[in-house]
Amino acid sequence: MLLLVTETSSELSRMFGIRKPRLVSSQPAPSPSPSSSPSSQTFGTRYPLRTDAVVWRGLPVLEGTNLVTSGRRYGGWVQTLKGVATLPTEFILPRIEVPYRAELPASMQAAEARHATDPAAADAIAAEQWGYYFYLGGGKSTLDRFPKAREINRASSSLRMQMINEVIEDVVGAEKSDMSVLDFACNWGGMAIDMAHRGFRSVTAFDFKEDNIRRAGMLNAYMGTDVQLDVANAYDLPAHYQEGFDVVLNLGLLYHVTDPVRLVQLTHALTRKVAVFDTLCHKEPFSGFITAYLNEDQIKRSGMGEQQIELHPTYRGLVDLIHFAGFRNLVEVAPIIGPKYPDREKEHYYVGHRRTIIAFK
């Protein structure tokens, strides 16, 4: 019997080599069995050296030990397991649901007035290479050079501002005008600029790539916001950060680092009241991490980390890690994404491969 297996998550699919729906056998995979042809070599003087790999026979996608094909093997495992049972999206925390609204946040709508006074600045920003959407007014955006990505990114940037920034603004209420915000690894700076526009007292944001901070600086100046932007590595932050921040955003970073425990502990140390963790997550029901290997071209992109290897948390791993760092109360934010959302099946939040957790001290 054959089952149709559909993989829906684009970024994970690319990374782990699962591209299209395909047919797999619903029969359980055969048990691993070693080859019967041991080598005649020895290890040292005494130990016969077996060089036969133990693999799941009949499923070549699972074979081998090469790092470059590691993601493909993991993808093969996921497909094979899906032939037995589809992994559901688990919820083990209390959660709030945030319905997506197809409208730009007020921070982006404010760009219309900026464009009216300085259209040349909007053109200069639009000519840069961006990975994220921000509306610049006059019908222009940061992603005009990449029209295919523009609509999807427009929706996902708005969605994230609704489910992260708007929720935090609502939770802290009138106190916001007295609160400081830190945005870890801000890349484009859009989330920080949106927080500044919402009226938080001060917003600081950093990223370890100079070029990201340069572009974020252009957007910050254009939007007339006063975000303090620093070039810094998360593991080596400016000394004055140690005073802490009322709100800390740790978005899209956890799965790019190789020391996630320390990153979450650092976030805890810098948080005075509340932090938000937003990360890709795997669905396997164990608490841990899955390695992902990036090739040389992938690691050069503006959104990537320092190492060609990444540690992606499972959902349970993420929850355990945040508790371990010392956060006491966790609430998950789960968006409701209707059928009109562009390319909904590829939206990580929709398919449960990206999770957002608000963590209180």
Ligand X SMILES: C[S@@+](CC[C@H](N)C(=O)[O-])C[C@H]1O[C@@H](n2cnc3c(N)ncnc32)[C@H](O)[C@@H]1O
And the tokens for 319? 């929850």
CB of 203 closer than 8 Å to CB of 195: yes
x-or-dash string of contact with ligand X, 280-309, rule CB under 6 A: ----------------------xx-xx---
Total chain residues near ligand X (CB under 6 A): 21
Nearer to ligand X, 209 or 361 (CB): 209
Nearer to ligand X, 5 or 266 (CB): 266
Choosing from 165, 187, 267, 279, the residue that interacts with ligand X (CB under 6 A) is 187
Choosing from 80, 158, 212, 225, the residue that interacts with ligand X (CB under 6 A) is 212
252 binds ligand X (CB under 6 A): yes
186 binds ligand X (CB under 6 A): yes
And the tokens for 14? 């690319």
CB of 179 to ligand X, least distance (A): 19
Binding window for ligand X (CB under 6 A); candidates: 3-11, 135-143, 185-193, 221-229: 185-193
Binding window for ligand X (CB under 6 A); candidates: 120-128, 138-146, 228-236, 312-320: 228-236
CB of 263 to ligand X, least distance (A): 8
Nearer to ligand X, 56 or 132 (CB): 132
Nearer to ligand X, 237 or 331 (CB): 237
Choosing from 12, 29, 122, 253, the residue that interacts with ligand X (CB under 6 A) is 253
Neighbours of 174 (CB within 10 A): 7
233 binds ligand X (CB under 6 A): yes
Query: Which 96-125 positions form the footprint of ligand X (CB under 6 A)?
Result: none
Binding window for ligand X (CB under 6 A); candidates: 121-129, 146-154, 245-253, 315-323: 245-253
Measure CA of the first residue to CA of the last residue in the chain; give whole Å.
51
Q: Report the residue closest to ligand X, judged by CB.
A: 252
CB of 14 to ligand X, least distance (A): 14
Count CA atoms within 13 Å of residue 63 on its CB side. Answer: 10
27 binds ligand X (CB under 6 A): no
Residue 228's DSSP bridge partners are 204
93 binds ligand X (CB under 6 A): no
Nearer to ligand X, 132 or 222 (CB): 132
219 binds ligand X (CB under 6 A): no
Tell me the three-class secondary structure of the chain, residue by residue.
Answer: CEEEECCCCHHHHHHHCCCCCEEEECCCCCCCCCCCCCCCCEECCCEECCCCCCCCCCCHHHCCCCHHHHHHHHHHHHHHHHCCCCCCCCCCCCEEEEECCCCCCHHHHCHHHHHHHCHHHHHHHHCCCCCCCCEEECCEECCCCCHHHHHHHHHHHHHHHHHHHHHHHHHHHHHHHHCEEEEECCCCCHHHHHHHHCCCCEEEEEECCHHHHHHHHHHHHHHCCCCEEEECECCECCHHHHHCEEEEEEECCHHHCCCHHHHHHHHHHHEEEEEEEEEECECCCCCCEEEEECCHHHHCCCCCCCCCEEEEEEHHHHHHHHHHHCCCEEEEEEEECCCCCCCHHHCHHHHCCEEEEEEEC
Choosing from 234, 292, 330, 359, the residue that interacts with ligand X (CB under 6 A) is 234
Nearer to ligand X, 180 or 250 (CB): 250
207 binds ligand X (CB under 6 A): yes
CB of 29 closer than 8 Å to CB of 56: yes
And the tokens for 24? 């797999």
208 binds ligand X (CB under 6 A): yes
185 binds ligand X (CB under 6 A): yes
Query: Which 45-64 positions form the footprint of ligand X (CB under 6 A)?
Result: none
Residues within the interface to ligand X (CB under 6 A):
132, 185-187, 191, 207-209, 212, 233-235, 251-253, 256-257, 302-303, 305-306
